[in-house]
Chain A
Amino acid sequence: MNFDDTPQEAAFRAEARNWVQANAPKEFEAELSQASLGRISLKSADMVAVGKSWQKKKSDAGWACLSWPKEYGGRGASPIEKVIWQQEEGVYGKLTQPFQIGEGMCGPTVMAFGSEADKRERLPKLASGEEIWCQLFSEPAGGSDVAGLRTRAERDGDDWIVNGQKIWTSGAHYSDWGLLITRTDPNVPKHKGLTMFFLDMKSPGVEVRPIKQANGMQEFNEVYFTNVRIPDSQRLGKVGDGWNVSLTTLMNERMSIGSRLATGFPEIFAFCNDLTTEHGPAMDDRAVRARLADWAVKSSGLKYTAYRSLSALSRGERPGPENSIGKLVAGTMVQDIAAFAMDLQGAAGGLAGEADGVAGGRFQAMLLGAPGMRIAGGTDEILRNIIAERVLGLPGDIRVDKDVPFNQIPTKGR
């Protein structure tokens, strides 16, 4: 057992480190390092603009979309090299957030199902940050149950006409292209009547409305489609095969192995370490120590679970299922840690914001944002189902709507 790179990995790491050292936008380093959970923004510059310029620089030097083939703008790098790159990119990786859905989900889907012309036209621009992509899957009536989506696409000559609504679309307001799943046949069971497209987000009839979240931030959008025309040439996969195409998209969703999930542990440890309450140093309090120890071992467990997956990647093997626990553990931790920190602050714990909140209001921001972490990208309950069914091999749920034509599935509970 050791934590060392192989000679090849070490050489790759050195190359990546030197390049980042020479080229990163250092003027944002401090701000990016300090950006705490759920609060990544730049005071003096537009995050997307800075991100685009960083992405372009990376792409010109061959450091963008590392695992993609070279002809589509990538580097043809191995999975472990991609992780090493992420480690070396460090805080600047936060700038790549607008491109992650494109790189991890939309791009690979176009690569698998798009025409050669589309691949050569679209993918290099995605890789270089010139074009940003969003993913239009979730709907008001289809969250965890994505296949329950209702957005209709109807054939009209060489085009399709789309009507409906998507929701929880990250980055739709600055995206150039979108990956869109629609219902093309409501007369067959729900998984069978779906079809996938990609579309120009500037198409007439596309309207993006920001969603104001419960924590007051706006990171997601609703996207409305009113008689939006999409050429049939932008269909991905066969008509009615959209569910299978979407599985390709979701399978390509990058495991967050290299970039560690935020748990809030370093923040709560530092906070308690500096805190003196009416009973003396908080760290002398057994109750505080017990809570910290519990979070310390969870945080450490996630770190070394990721190391186990990295070891598999390093040997050229597929990582095991162990990484599926990450978000499930981290989401609840963030929420509990925030509440505990505020409890230690007494009534002042109720104050928020950088000026009035204790510790710059970071725990209050965590508390208000945490419910979203436990829902976005798979709710805690869906994640437990996935672990139970795919890792432990338990039977799938009995699905009462599985063989029913979509337009006969009940839409109201009472």
Chain B
Amino acid sequence: MNFEFSDDQKQLRDQARRFLSEKCPPKAVRAVLEGKAPYDKELWKGLAEMGFLGVAIPEEFGGTGAGHLELCVIAEEMGRAVAPVPFSSTVYLAAEALLLAGSDAQKQKWLPKIASGEAIGTLALFEGPGNPAPQGVKLTAANGVLNGVKTPVADGAIADFAVVVARHGASGRETDIGLYLVDLKAGGVEARALTSIDPSRNQAELTFKDCKAEPLGAASEGWSLLSQVLDRAAVLTAFEQVGGADRALEMGRDYALDRIAFGRPIGSFQAVKHILADMYVAATLARSNCYYGAWALSTNAGELGEAAATARISATQAFQHCAKQNIQVHGGMGFTWEFDCHLYYRRSNALALSLGSLSYWEDTLIERMRKKNAA
């Protein structure tokens, strides 16, 4: 039994934590939150220089080729730091889609630029309210061009290219849906920045008008590819969420130790202790489920679907719970703009919705368990 990250991977974690605590303090998150920049360009450059953007990209495509366990480790640290950069869109979604479905030429074109920090990528999936479903895809692909509107698209206004989920048929089956690669700087797309609950990350509406696009993978396999990309991103996002949950728990614990009321540290009151103990329970369950997801992701196990949904649900619950209760432990100060609690509260709720909401993943998990049970 070796259900733990290796010493090298733990060293990488320490390295990433040191780097982020220096380059990504709450002040840097607030700069983006308060609209001073659409994302932290210096930090993005630094992440590229550290090799963190290409950690799961093979060396032949400009990455370090370390692997997905290493990417999990970095994702956790990005979550701890609530980093205001398009990391998840570019690395978990766009790069994973390219690795999974891209032709050699497509990989050669974009992956080295992702690793070097020159290109930001994203996935354009949603078209208004609702969770991922083939019938929700109205944007059309015909004669090499896309027409329609995607919203919200994470990092849509700052991305250089997008993987777009589009409809090319009307049979009513999943095979009507394909993935398409679009160079967002080549015209045909208009981006409108959107207001969101977490302005430390960009959200945009993308309008495609006769926009040139090339298929990514077989046109009939788009939905199946998308599902695989979402599973992989679910594990990686779960690590971000666990990182955030852990940090929120630490903030709550530290405040409970420092803050004196009724002549004693508030952390000596059972009412406060029990809040923090329950945060620890949620974070611990989520971390263990994330390890399960990491194992499945790194070994490409048949259980990946179940493991990804499990990690995703558990980590969503944990981050939302810890971020919410961290504010409660802080009392009134936790509800001020000045304290950092709301950065985590905002991010926890944004991440909970980013790849399909909690109820979508609950449904997915049980459907998968049911199928396995019937098999």
Contact = CB atoms under 8 A, between A and B. Distances in A.
Given A296-B365, A397-B268, A391 B280 contact: yes
Contact of B370 (A273, A312, A397): A273
Q: SS class of chain B's interface: helix, strand, loop or mixed?
A: helix
A286 B291 CA distance: 28
A395 interface: yes
A307 B1 contact: yes
Contacts of B281: 325, 328-329, 387
A18 interface: no
A398 B270 CA distance: 10
A75 B298 CA distance: 38
A413 to B, nearest CB: 17
B2 A293 contact: no
A305 B285 CA distance: 7
A283 B373 CA distance: 12
Contact of B292 (A294, A304, A322, A392): A304
A24 B322 CA distance: 47
Nearest to B366: A289
B289 A300 contact: yes
A4 B295 CA distance: 12
A290 interface: yes
Given A1-B69, A301-B285, A301-B288, A311 B276 contact: no
Contact of B1 (A283, A302, A314): A314
B291 A304 contact: yes
B178 to A, nearest CB: 29
A256 B369 CA distance: 26
Interface in B279-317: 280-281, 284-289, 291-292, 294-295, 298-299, 309-310, 313-314, 317
Contact of B3 (A310, A383, A389, A398): A310
A78 to B, nearest CB: 13
Best-surrounded residue of A4, A300, A301 (most CB of chain B within 10 A):
A301
B285 A384 contact: no
A145 to B, nearest CB: 14
Contacts of B218: none
B277 to A, nearest CB: 4
Nearest to B312: A297
Contacts of B361: 293
A301 B270 contact: no
A285 to B, nearest CB: 10
Contact of A311 (B3, B256, B309, B365): B3
A394 B366 contact: no
A35 B363 CA distance: 31
Interface in B329-347: none
Contacts of A397: 268, 270
Contacts of B366: 283, 289, 292-293, 296
Nearest to A292: B366
A205 B295 CA distance: 59
A302 B285 contact: yes
Contact of B278 (A3, A289, A384, A385): A384
B19 interface: no
A381 B365 contact: no
B41 interface: no
Interface residues of B, number: 50
A127 B64 CA distance: 55
A286 B289 contact: no
B359 interface: yes
B280 A392 contact: yes
Given A286-B363, A308-B291, A394-B253, A301 B284 contact: yes
B2 A314 contact: yes
Contacts of B288: 300-305, 307-308, 322
Interface string A304-336: 110110111011000000100100110000000
Contacts of B370: 273, 283
A1 B276 contact: no
Interface in A347-398: 381, 383-385, 387-389, 391-398
A57 interface: no
B48 to A, nearest CB: 27
B249 to A, nearest CB: 8
Contacts of A307: 1, 3, 288, 291
Interface string B1-33: 111110000000000000000000000000000
A2 interface: yes
A329 B264 CA distance: 30
Contacts of A312: 4
B127 to A, nearest CB: 22
A3 B295 CA distance: 9
A387 B285 contact: no
Given A273-B370, A397-B270, A297 B3 contact: no
B257 interface: yes
A298 B270 contact: no
Contacts of B273: 384-385, 388-389, 392, 394
B267 interface: yes
Contacts of B373: 269, 273
B285 A395 contact: no
A301 B314 contact: yes
A9 to B, nearest CB: 8
A5 interface: yes
A298 B362 CA distance: 13
Interface string A216-252: 0000000000000000000000000000000000000
B287 to A, nearest CB: 8
12 contacts: A1-B2, A1-B3, A1-B295, A1-B299, A4-B1, A289-B362, A289-B363, A293-B309, A302-B288, A305-B284, A305-B288, A325-B284
Given A273-B373, A392-B277, 9 more contacts: A1-B299, A297-B317, A307-B291, A311-B2, A384-B278, A391-B280, A394-B256, A397-B270, A398-B264
**For the complex of A and B, 10 pairs with smallest distance between CB atoms:** A301-B285, A293-B362, A388-B273, A304-B288, A384-B277, A394-B267, A387-B277, A305-B288, A297-B314, A289-B366
